[in-house]
A = this chain, B = another copy of it.
């Protein structure tokens, strides 16, 4: 695999006379890819049925003429204003039940069949015209961004009722599955079921979880419609650009439809309000040291190995609570970190800062006046460093971590304690693994084999799927389940017999406790348990207990179970001991230093704002160290 670079470009924003020079400068910079078109519907179809392809024809001519490969986006994230006149009920609704108005982007409801068809039709027309001239496709843009997956609209309610009928068949099945006998919530027919918002106290968690599954399925169906329309006319690979910590739809299911997974990496944009925990003050100009890596590993799983960074932050953005400039060197570091995690391509967003509208304060590689912005030189440096780089191949990591979207929804619906969040739990354990120098593969919940993994973690899983249960049963490596894994049915009820029902480890949780941050449960061996503790009855060995004597770590052969949410110190201690026991070598990395091993190289990245040493060498802030690995 050759590693390549690119950028996102909006020819429709600039005079046509400027296109050739832009294209030339992109090529000179060493870029391979240019992504275009994803917000241009109002120009391509300025009025219903009146198309204007000419300008896009010419733009593609200019770009490909300069040797660039085009990624073409379908423009459904920003339908023109006139489409709203045709489908006045197409607007997504917020949790208060209010329509989310036209005037920015992503205002459509995924459940609106009329708009879904119109968008797919537009994708088909573009594929028909450009299917053999462009190098890759992007469907829509950043599904779920701005909280748009879950819509509380009448349209969604209608579609939800149909979805429920499909799933449960009879209303009795649904009533039984949800336990509606409780509080006389029994329905007589599907038409009586509302959306689970604005109820007096919390709705039935099974009802709420079903609605979250429905909302995710609407995204899956929506994307499928565009993929089908494109495939009818084009063999180019299809991708979608996912976001950071958007968990409202099942990315695995959407990604399965396409060849490439991509994501939009804004390390500083995400830092302050999307990263769970961590020392934010230390990384204001760098981004969190583990957050990008987590998503690189997650989307590598989504793309089954083929993945890109479709949008890479090149300078200050406009949309975080505060927007500082990256520390010098970080634009380069972020790019190399993506490659170290196996990215095929990294594309900077955007080529030139647009002086109007919502993102006018979002930096590009160029300033609005076309001068080089601060990030340009670092992009050029990466391009130079890549020029003679050899091809690389993907490798499996020694550690696997199961991440599951449905579990995210389940614990949002029923946290039982403020702060219980599947992503945050997985991320805490991922951080611990990374602080020990371990490279990680993230895997979906229906993973059928754990072959090749010395150590697998299965935290906070709503319930073990059949394939995963079989995979654990068959695994040669060490498998750590918990906390809060397999305590519920997939309907979010307590199973009989009570869980967890773990292959090779006898354990029953007889009571679950949650507690506030200021009241952790101490561990005699160091650190403590935060937020969650399940009380386990077991015949297995109890390796570690809380100061109060509650079992925290169980072990039987190669199977282990964690009964509480370990704090940073406990996570590092427990995970480290298990990893070494699984035959892995751990490294005691200082804060800010992170490692990623490819098949041939060890990359060391310094996210700190001060120099740090690794293996006798000093890395400056934003410094990168590359060490050969024995092959």
Interface residues of A (CB under 8 A from B): 10, 12-13, 39-43, 46-47, 75, 78-82, 85, 92, 94, 96-107, 145-146, 148, 178-188, 192, 194, 196-207, 272, 281, 284, 315-316, 318-319, 321-325, 353-361, 363, 367-369, 371, 373-374, 414, 416-418, 491, 493-498, 510-516, 518-519, 531, 535
Nearest chain B CB to A370 CB, angstrom units? 10
CA of A85 to CA of B363 in the docked complex: distance in angstroms? Answer: 53
Contact A322 B514 (CB under 8 A): yes
Contact A146 B354 (CB under 8 A): no
Nearest chain B CB to A557 CB, angstrom units? 27
Residues of B within 8 A of A199 (CB): 100-104, 107
Contact A179 B323 (CB under 8 A): no
Contact B510 A284 (CB under 8 A): no
CA of A281 to CA of B203 in the docked complex: distance in angstroms? Answer: 30
Contact B511 A201 (CB under 8 A): no
Out of B42, B353, B494, which one reaches A355, CB within 8 Å? B494
Contact A81 B318 (CB under 8 A): no
Q: Check A104/B357 contact, CB under 8 A, given A81-B187, A518-B281.
A: no
Across the interface, name the chain B residue whose C-beta is closest to A145.
B201
Residues of B within 8 A of A321 (CB): 417-418, 516
Supplied contacts A325-B513, A363-B511, 17 more A-B pairs, CB within 8 Å: A39-B184, A41-B184, A82-B188, A85-B192, A97-B98, A98-B198, A104-B199, A104-B201, A105-B200, A178-B356, A179-B360, A183-B358, A316-B512, A316-B513, A322-B515, A324-B515, A355-B495
CA of A102 to CA of B207 in the docked complex: distance in angstroms? Answer: 12
Contact A184 B363 (CB under 8 A): no
Out of B80, B180, B416, B495, which one reaches A361, CB within 8 Å? B416
Q: Check A511/B315 contact, CB under 8 A, given A81-B188, A417-B321, A496-B368.
A: yes
Across the interface, name the chain B residue whose C-beta is closest to A361.
B416
Task: Kindly list the 10 A-B residue pairs having the minimum CB-CB distance in the complex, ordered from nearest.
Answer: A179-B356, A355-B494, A42-B184, A182-B357, A78-B184, A179-B357, A103-B199, A104-B199, A146-B201, A322-B417
Across the interface, name the chain B residue whose C-beta is closest to A203.
B103
Out of B75, B100, B491, B494, which one reaches A200, CB within 8 Å? B100
Contact A357 B103 (CB under 8 A): no
Nearest chain B CB to A318 CB, angstrom units? 6
Contact B202 A358 (CB under 8 A): yes
Nearest chain B CB to A418 CB, angstrom units? 5
Out of B316, B354, B418, which one reaches A182, CB within 8 Å? B354
Contact A79 B184 (CB under 8 A): yes
Out of B102, B316, B496, which one reaches A369, CB within 8 Å? B496
Residues of B within 8 A of A512 (CB): 316, 361
Contact A513 B357 (CB under 8 A): no
Q: List 28 A-B contacts (CB under 8 A).
A: A42-B185, A43-B181, A47-B188, A78-B183, A78-B185, A80-B184, A101-B194, A101-B198, A102-B185, A103-B199, A103-B204, A104-B183, A106-B200, A178-B356, A179-B356, A182-B354, A201-B358, A204-B357, A281-B519, A315-B511, A323-B417, A324-B513, A324-B515, A355-B495, A360-B494, A361-B416, A369-B498, A374-B510
